[in-house]
Structure 1
Amino acid sequence: MASSSSSSSSSNLKRNCHVFLSFRGTDVRNNFLGHLYAALDQKGVHTFMDSEELRIGEQISPALMEAIKGSRVAIIVFSKNYAASRWCLEELARIMECKEQRDLKVFPVFYKVEPREVRTPRKSYRKAMATHESKFGKDSQEVKRWEKALRDAGSLSGLEFHEGDEAELIKRIIKELSIHLERTPLHVAKYPVGIDSRVQQVISLLENETGDDDVLMVGLWGPGGIGKTTIAKALYNYIEKDFQGTCFLERVRETSNESNGLVSLQEKLLSQILSHRNLAVYNVDGGITLIRERLCCKKILPVLDDVDRLAQPDALAGGGHWFGQGSRIIVTSRDKHLLTSHGITCVHEAKTLSDDEARDLFCRHAFLDRKKIEIRRDLIDRAVHYANGLPLALQVFGSFLCGRKEPAWESALRNLSKSPDHTINSVLKTSFYGLDDKAREIFLDISCFFKGKRIEYIKEVLDNCGFESTIGIEVLIERSLITNENGYLQMHDLIQLMGKDIVIQECRNDPGQRSRLWLFEDVSDILCGDTVKFVYVNVATYHFSYYTNLKISMEIFCDH
């Protein structure tokens, strides 16, 4: 083990280290190791070096295990007395286990020893293992485990150094590391609550759907703010090491709407996967041909995030035959029909957070300081309930309420019940504005009048009003705006609030100028000022009454 270095707490080690250094301090502490660590630090490589003096007891510490698991590369400096330390051997065994289980990159440096001395073992390594056998027994499982780790690690390709300039050796190590560390993991979320379990669900889907050599396209589907992009980023980080080339294309919808947007996305896809910085694409059709020709033999992982038109995946990932065996194409969209139209049969629906997850995420954003302001539990419950498991809403509400006192919480929650948050509303409205005019009308009717009603009843009313409700409702379900729950139409509370807000914005100060009314008070105010006779439509259901061009729910009269 070694002296010096990281004093980070175990909570900060996970996924924070680029490189884990395993070494015997008495051999390399005062020369080679110090220079190597300084060179890595100068290159911005976060390196964990364990301190031999800090070891207590017989077991490898949880903090050390977290450091190994969280690192992307492990450098093992095999020196003359490395195997004499049982701690070094235990550390080595854990590193090799992570290599098998988590695909940790292991890079051995044979410092004044030969690889065969390590793997056979011979010379000082044979002497050290004989000492361990004498202490623990020749048939000890622990000793056998160490021997296997030495054999496996000593068989890996690495760098040898016997005599000469150590600075040159360090340069070679840095050069080799740059290859492994070139791909930078994506930032997933400030607080990735519930993400790991959702990533595992998608991975299970991938494993069940196809063999390792098949090309598979996977869709992540759900409404805005549900966490599709977050899941896609975490999934990308988890599996990207298995591919020859990777690319995460964010905001495909926004970018493709710009001038030459699809062409720029094609260029980015090719340049990231092929590591060509100046690969030019002149038009979409040319880009399609170039992608197929250059990537047909490569095992790649492209992620197309926030797709809303079929032309986008058609231009970027037209079909499985475009790419090499084992490729995985991940596409996120709010439109399930778009995914299936592109031939994606493996579609995972992103779900809202559970109650415990929602509370956890909200509180992480609302109470950053451990010495948090005391807030009544019922106010926290109201905020969490209002977000209804939508990660975006939990994040926005929590951040907005952070540091505020109870009166401000009460005021904010009252305001939110009347008017939706602008940030959340703008995300949700994207799906609404992607609808055609008739689908928009059906959506607004459901938002204002029909949430929680039987589908047959809703269709009967809408059909009698001149709508083609069957296809309209199907489109809304595909766009993640409504759901069919055992024959009843439901929608997320914030999506319903968004729909009602669209109607309110038609004329904020005069309800009579809006297209729909659902509050008794608004209807009563209008009736008191006008005696024009009502024309009842669809008498069989008595759900809509038309007052000039105004839709009014008849149920409000029944309730009052």
Structure 2
Amino acid sequence: MILERKRPPSDHVVLPVFYHVDPSHVRKQTESIGKAFARHQKSQSPEKVKGWRKALAEVADLAGMVLQNQADGYESKFIKKIVKVIGDKLSRTLLSVEPKLIGIQFQVERINLWLQDGSSDVGILLVYGMSGVGKTTIAKHVYNSNFRSFKGSSFIENIKERADRPNGLVQIQMQLLYDILIGRKVKIQTVGEGIIKIESAISSRKVLLVLDDVDHMDQLDAVLKMKDRFYPGSKILITTRRERLLRAHQVTKVYKVETLNYNESLELFSWHAFGQDRPKENYMEHSKMVVQHSVGLPLALKVLGSSLSGKSMDVWESALEKLKVIPNDDHDQKLFLHIACFLIGRDKNYIVRILDGCDFYTIVGIENLVDRCLVTIDGYNKVQMHDLIRDMGREIVRHESEESGKRSRLWRHKDSFEVLREKNGTRTIQGLALDMHMHLANRPINTNETVLETNAFERMRNLQLLHLSHVRLHGCYADFPTRLRWLCWLQFPLDSIHVDLPFKCLIVLEMQHSSLRQVWKGTKFLPSLKILDVSHSHSLIEIMDFTLCPSLEELILVDCTSLIDVHESIGNLERLVYLNTKDCKNLRMLPKNMCMLKSLEKLILTGCSNLKEFPVEMMKKMVSLKVFEIDGIPISELWPERSSTILSSFPCSLLELSLMGCNLSDDDFCRDLSSLSSLRKLKLAENPICSLPGFIKGLRRLDKLSFKGCNRLESLVGLPKVRQRMSIAGCISLRKIIPLSPEPWSATYRVDDNWNLVEWEYLYKLEPIDRVDVEMIKLLGLCNLESMPAIRMNSQLFSHPKVSHVQVRLSLSLSLSLISCI
């Protein structure tokens, strides 16, 4: 009867205790046990006695505890040991899961069969599928059904998220050891140390290990690098969104979790919305509409069902209105699907430029998507989307056709590669992404297979968005799709772009990390091009004639280290708003007609350390310039004859100015710079200045001010009010700060390691101990200074709600200085 409770579905744990009994006597039924069976055979049926014999033989083979020592006191210790073992086993509790296995019962049973096959091999099962499809739920049910059959077990959830935290991999290793060793804590300092300790733990016992939501090999290496050391019969189950996370020879079995069918979806939704297996009668039609929106994703069904549970019909109808964008084939749905498949994480304005050219009303459309909680705009103006929402959108596209070449968008590298290799693309395709490095990851590389033909795109007449990375194409480009709006081709392999590429409609061209030496050979008119980005193209020596792209708004040349000059026609770009030549270390000159860039708002020259000519005297004509960054350029060397008046040449429209590491001294600043009174952000970090530049006193609108790393700075007298943040970290010579106003409370001052700061007027002042009243010294308990240890004190001055903590170090010696609040 006990052994029956050990088997499914009960799955109880059986712990045999051999109390003054040899387990071999139980197994073979000899000695006193044999005599007892001889008596029972006379009074019981043969079938019953046979069952008893079989049961005892099975019990004897179970891992148990044996008492054979007759010494005094040993029996008491043995009983305590039994209690501890049972307590440890009870500590391996079940994971919390929903009791109803709607749509996943069959999948759980299939994995259980694999786990319970009795094999002594170390097995690895990869369970993959999109976010929200139920991978974790399945893994939890499988774990609960099987962990008691193993000597040790561990279920580690959310590995992707946890691994990104500080010391995340070590924390994962520590949990694994704690679980497998049943509550024994093991300290680990490094991942390498953890690998050694895990190897020791898993080599002596059969374990069940579940690693949930893994997305990178580093995460697996931290716990599976010693795979060959696992005890025979151990099983490892991995859930992931990446089908090719492991190479084929590294896994025993791969299992894909599919979305639910319509009936399963309706049942799961109903349990969460109504607490029963079908919708209430008057909510039937609304429920069906919600289920259609959820495209079979269990997580979406649960979230929507729970959010609508107990709500009125008005709330249901409002929710359905917000969801209408997803299933309906309208403007906002197409916009949503483009973002979900290709443009997540891109700047909002960047997306607007691309998709406006695809006949979208993008600004209004994005606002609609934000209103429906389908996308968000982060603090950096990036368009973001929850993984679940993204995968819902991609699932809609996947359901368009069983054939990849007949879907509107191809974002999976495997699908894109197969369509291009087989040349079976169609007019339906509007967007395609292919990263050959991602596609070939963990696969043997066939050199012939990696080169594709240009005519593979010939039938994709409606292709608008194309994202390629590490892709090589052979052939003629004359028949390339003519409706391309966005071409992002990272690691472009050629030294120039084919002149026969049909780019009449192209709006954005990105060629980062390319092998380009020149953008085009000959001439190529690009009337619609708004953004050109050839950053990190280290071989680029020549930029095209800009009269061929009159609509250009953004030119990005970051880290083009072979570029010496910029074509003089740049002055003709009437719409250019952004120019970035950061780290173009060999750039020698910028054309004088740059002053004609009347629309330019942001100019970045940071790191152009060899710049010899720059039309600074013409900068005042850049009437729209708001942001100017010239970090790392020694201004006094660039314009030695007029370095003291250089700032007066900057346009009055500036809101942000960065002069970090420009070798500026006090003499390089003129006293009156009222023309820069609109500045909101000023960075003077890492300059050899000694005192506050006089012109700063007139800057009454500053939000941020930085002197970080100005190690010669001694005083800031006349400091204006800074609204958000002022950084003086690393200003090791700074002694005195005297603000213009007695209440600069709204700023957050960073005084990291500024222990030499002795006076901050209106806040505190440090004075020599001999100037402090004797009675005050006694009250403070500072009479016997020489015997007192060093003190570091955190003090909140004035208890003003907007005053941050200021760290003050008191060196308690005969030359002690004491805080004296004024």
**TM, length-normalised to structure 2:** 0.37
The answer on 1:368 being equivalent to 2:275 is: yes
For 1:105, the aligned partner's letter is V
Alignment partner, residue 292 of structure 2: 385
Q: Secondary structure at the match of 2:275?
A: coil
The 1:370–1:159 alpha-carbon spacing in structure 2 relative to 1, beyond 3 Å, is farther
- The 2-side partners of 1:398 and 1:464 are apart by 34
Which structure has the highest helix share of the two? 1
Alignment partner, residue 183 of structure 1: 92
Alignment partner, residue 228 of structure 1: 135
Alignment partner, residue 63 of structure 1: none
The answer on 1:204 being equivalent to 2:152 is: no
Alignment partner, residue 753 of structure 2: none
Alignment partner, residue 558 of structure 1: none
- The 1-side partners of 2:59 and 2:179 are apart by 34
What displacement does 1:473 show? 10
For 2:197, the aligned partner's letter is L
- The 2-side partners of 1:237 and 1:310 are apart by 26
Q: Secondary structure at the match of 1:347?
A: strand
The 1:270–1:174 alpha-carbon spacing in structure 2 relative to 1, beyond 3 Å, is closer
- The 2-side partners of 1:186 and 1:415 are apart by 35
Alignment partner, residue 186 of structure 2: 279
For 2:120, the aligned partner's letter is D
For 2:107, the aligned partner's letter is R
Alignment partner, residue 105 of structure 1: 13
What displacement does 1:175 show? 4.5
Alignment partner, residue 584 of structure 2: none
- The 2-side partners of 1:462 and 1:436 are apart by 26
C-alpha contact (below 8 Å) 1:246/1:273 kept by paired residues: yes
Match of 1:303 among 210, 231, 235: 210
For 1:366, the aligned partner's letter is A
The answer on 1:316 being equivalent to 2:265 is: no
Give matches, 1:108-257, under 5 Å.
138=45, 143=48, 174-175=83-84, 177-189=86-98, 191-206=100-115, 212-257=119-164
For 1:104, the aligned partner's letter is H
- The 1-side partners of 2:250 and 2:395 are apart by 31
Alignment partner, residue 400 of structure 2: 452
- The 2-side partners of 1:121 and 1:222 are apart by 59
Structure 1 residue runs without a partner (length 5+): 1-91, 161-166, 421-428, 479-514, 517-533, 538-545, 551-560
For 2:400, the aligned partner's letter is G
- The 2-side partners of 1:242 and 1:395 are apart by 31
C-alpha contact (below 8 Å) 2:271/2:277 kept by paired residues: no
The 1:119–1:227 alpha-carbon spacing in structure 2 relative to 1, beyond 3 Å, is farther
Q: Secondary structure at the match of 2:125?
A: strand
Match of 1:260 among 167, 170, 194: 167
What displacement does 1:351 show? 1.5
The 1:120–1:99 alpha-carbon spacing in structure 2 relative to 1, beyond 3 Å, is farther
- The 1-side partners of 2:203 and 2:322 are apart by 55
What displacement does 1:305 show? 0.9
1:41-95 C-alpha deviation (Å, 9 max, x unpaired)? xxxxxxxxxxxxxxxxxxxxxxxxxxxxxxxxxxxxxxxxxxxxxxxxxxx3xx4
C-alpha contact (below 8 Å) 1:213/1:326 kept by paired residues: yes
C-alpha contact (below 8 Å) 1:220/1:333 kept by paired residues: yes
Question: Which stretch of structure 1 is more off in the superposition, 272-281 or 366-375?
Answer: 366-375
Structure 2 residue runs without a partner (length 5+): 20-25, 68-75, 328-338, 355-389, 409-419, 444-484, 487-502, 507-526, 532-822
What displacement does 1:234 show? 1.4
For 2:89, the aligned partner's letter is H
C-alpha contact (below 8 Å) 1:358/1:394 kept by paired residues: yes
- The 2-side partners of 1:286 and 1:110 are apart by 39
C-alpha contact (below 8 Å) 1:296/1:321 kept by paired residues: no
For 2:296, the aligned partner's letter is G
What displacement does 1:416 show? 1.6
C-alpha contact (below 8 Å) 2:295/2:395 kept by paired residues: no
For 2:224, the aligned partner's letter is A
1:463-497 C-alpha deviation (Å, 9 max, x unpaired)? 99996648499699x9xxxxxxxxxxxxxxxxxxx
1:303-322 C-alpha deviation (Å, 9 max, x unpaired)? 21111111110121125213
The 1:433–1:355 alpha-carbon spacing in structure 2 relative to 1, beyond 3 Å, is same
Question: Which stretch of structure 1 is more off in the superposition, 260-269 or 341-350?
Answer: 341-350
User: What do you get for the CA RMSD once the two structures are aligned?
Assistant: 5.3
The 1:240–1:221 alpha-carbon spacing in structure 2 relative to 1, beyond 3 Å, is same
The 1:153–1:265 alpha-carbon spacing in structure 2 relative to 1, beyond 3 Å, is closer
Q: Secondary structure at the match of 2:324?
A: helix
The answer on 1:402 being equivalent to 2:305 is: no
C-alpha contact (below 8 Å) 2:341/2:394 kept by paired residues: no
What displacement does 1:294 show? 4.0
The answer on 1:96 being equivalent to 2:45 is: no
The 1:130–1:417 alpha-carbon spacing in structure 2 relative to 1, beyond 3 Å, is farther
The 1:390–1:547 alpha-carbon spacing in structure 2 relative to 1, beyond 3 Å, is farther
Q: Secondary structure at the match of 2:210?
A: strand
- The 1-side partners of 2:124 and 2:343 are apart by 27
The 1:224–1:475 alpha-carbon spacing in structure 2 relative to 1, beyond 3 Å, is farther
What displacement does 1:337 show? 1.6
For 1:265, the aligned partner's letter is I
C-alpha contact (below 8 Å) 1:219/1:347 kept by paired residues: yes
What displacement does 1:447 show? 8.5
C-alpha contact (below 8 Å) 2:159/2:219 kept by paired residues: yes
Question: Which stretch of structure 1 is more off in the superposition, 96-105 or 310-319?
Answer: 96-105
1:86-105 C-alpha deviation (Å, 9 max, x unpaired)? xxxxxx3xx43343556533
What displacement does 1:298 show? 3.0
- The 2-side partners of 1:464 and 1:195 are apart by 33
- The 2-side partners of 1:234 and 1:203 are apart by 9
C-alpha contact (below 8 Å) 1:313/1:342 kept by paired residues: no
What displacement does 1:173 show? 6.9
For 1:340, the aligned partner's letter is R
Alignment partner, residue 69 of structure 1: none
- The 1-side partners of 2:341 and 2:187 are apart by 33
What displacement does 1:357 show? 2.8
- The 1-side partners of 2:103 and 2:431 are apart by 44
Match of 1:418 among 299, 312, 325: 325
What displacement does 1:204 show? 3.4
For 1:318, the aligned partner's letter is K
The 1:450–1:548 alpha-carbon spacing in structure 2 relative to 1, beyond 3 Å, is farther
- The 2-side partners of 1:301 and 1:185 are apart by 14
C-alpha contact (below 8 Å) 2:88/2:182 kept by paired residues: no
Question: Which stretch of structure 1 is more off in the superposition, 446-455 or 378-387?
Answer: 446-455
Give matches, 1:480-491, under 5 Å.
none
